[in-house]
A = this chain, B = another copy of it.
Amino acid sequence: MLTRPDVAVVGAGPVGLAIAWRCAQRGLRVVVHDPAPGSGASHVAAGMLSPVAEAYFGEHVLTGLLAASAARWPAFAAELAEAVGTGFGYRTEGTIVVGLTGDDLAEARRLWSYQQGLGLPITPLRPSELRDREPALALRVRGGAVAPGDHQVDPRRLVGALRAAAEKAGATLVPDAVGALSDVDAGVTVVAAGCGAAALTGLPVRPVKGQVLRLRAPGGDPPGFRHVIRGYADGESVYLVPRGSGEVVVGATVEERGDTAVTAGAVLRLLRAAVGLVPELAEYDLAEASAGLRPGTPDNAPILGPLPGQPGVLAATGHHRHGIVLTPVTADLITELIVTGEGNPLLTPFTPDRFTGDPHGPGPFAGARTPGPAGPEPTSEEDRWN
């Protein structure tokens, strides 16, 4: 690198690479630092684009961002496929949510009511309708619903495509580890380092361990079901993501620990729930069991925007369980902020300053925030969750 880059991105996961791609498209000179691109949380992630099935009680502000980013996914996927000429497992069959027992179904129904109350597209199905759509479901499954807009992508292939797109647009990948932000010399530094952001910025990003299995249909066949299936099974919550390659991703645990050991108990729980929901999975090969570390935050929402007290440094981290679905909106908003110097109002609830005020002050979405990039009141359809 002979000239100082306009933008240095620390971290070549999907978020960092998408930001690099977008910035390079805008004519900026971009360098991405990562000794092992795509080796973080995305390497283990299932890749569900699920604003609906991931809409939980009390997280409606986050749900708005998920919905905004999911709405950008079709155009984002089309543009990326056009840019690199290869696919990355983007599929739009939708997600089926089911309850195995009566108790499981009651719990699922409470959540659907909440999601419907937010105006999210989720439609209950009778058991017969459920089995018409996915005959592989266990006869025991008591009921379910379909979220037609909850899609999926293959995160490992996505990283490959984003990397190719970023490089094609002119970004440079440098395989080095950044030990301190002072080591980076660029007009703007974007910290998209997942859990590594904590050490670089002091932000409250903590590892949240997730264990995930990859099964494979025997004989090279595709899986016997086409929708993403999310299920509640004897009190366990599990998802099953079928890929065209024959792979089925089964996930995931959510554990407050920072190791990446695969444990017998987690594998047992995931397999029991998976086979309970879709019995034919018992015959599938167990191809991989792995664990990754999600970058969690105190309010489960990402941290996006200027780092207080560090001019020229932006955070794009803390995506927790939602890094894949949030990739397009994160890249767009961070790039807009870099190019225009103005923060989109979508960013407002997610800026770093919510964690850098008085630690004994009000909660994360209340005041206590230094003035960030301001904008007009939300008006677009996309913004109605805020």
Contacts and interface: CB of A to CB of B under 8 A. Distances in A.
A272 interface: yes
B268 A272 contact: yes
A233 to B, nearest CB: 13
Interface in A258-282: 261-265, 267-268, 271-272, 274-275, 281-282
Interface residues of A, number: 21
Copies of the polypeptide in the assembly: 2
Interface string A193-235: 0000000000000000000010100100000000000000000
Contacts of A263: 282-286
Contacts of A283: 263-265
A42 to B, nearest CB: 22
A106 to B, nearest CB: 26
A289 interface: yes
Nearest to A275: B268
Contact of A267 (B218, B261, B265, B286): B286
A286 B211 CA distance: 12
A215 B264 contact: yes
Given A265-B283, A268-B275, 19 more contacts: A218-B261, A261-B285, A262-B285, A263-B283, A263-B285, A264-B274, A264-B275, A264-B282, A264-B283, A264-B285, A264-B286, A265-B275, A265-B281, A267-B267, A267-B271, A267-B286, A268-B271, A268-B282, A272-B272
A-B pairs, 4 with minimum CB distance: A265-B282, A268-B271, A261-B285, A262-B286
